[in-house]
Amino acid sequence: MKNDVIISFSKPYHHLVKTDHFTNTFNYHKFLNWVSGEFVLFLQDESKHLKIFFPNSILQIKKINQSNEEVHIEVCIKTKVLRCGIELMNKITKIHDKLDKSIFF
């Protein structure tokens, strides 16, 4: 992911937000599948977008815009412990970077 993380705080949660894009919907769905698989032991809701519930955090990945084949996403983490939120965002970034190297031709 190339964009910076925006961190804010409103009691009692820290909010971390990062936006990025994928070149096509296949890569976007592959990313969602990898993230879901990485955190398979946690409660997940995939009704509108991917939402994963952790003991002190909530991870949400949603599509914010789609033009032609390009998909823009927003990764939001709502956490009570900032360090945990940063570690979670780093894991998501590593998954994106792996996919970026392996399936984007």
Q: What is the pLDDT of residue 104?
A: 44
- Note whether 83 and 21 are within 8 A (CB): no
- Note whether 44 and 51 are within 8 A (CB): yes
Mean pLDDT (the chain) is: 88
Q: If one looks up domain 6-102 in CATH, what number appears?
A: 3.30.310.50
Q: What is the pLDDT of residue 36?
A: 95
Estimate to the nearest angstrom the gap between the alpha carbon of 81 and the chain centroid.
Answer: 17
> What are the pLDDT digits (tens) for 21-65?
888 888 889 999 999 999 999 999 999 899 999 999 999 999 998
pTM: 0.86
Query: pLDDT-derived band of residue 105, with 50, 70 and 90 as boundaries?
Result: very low
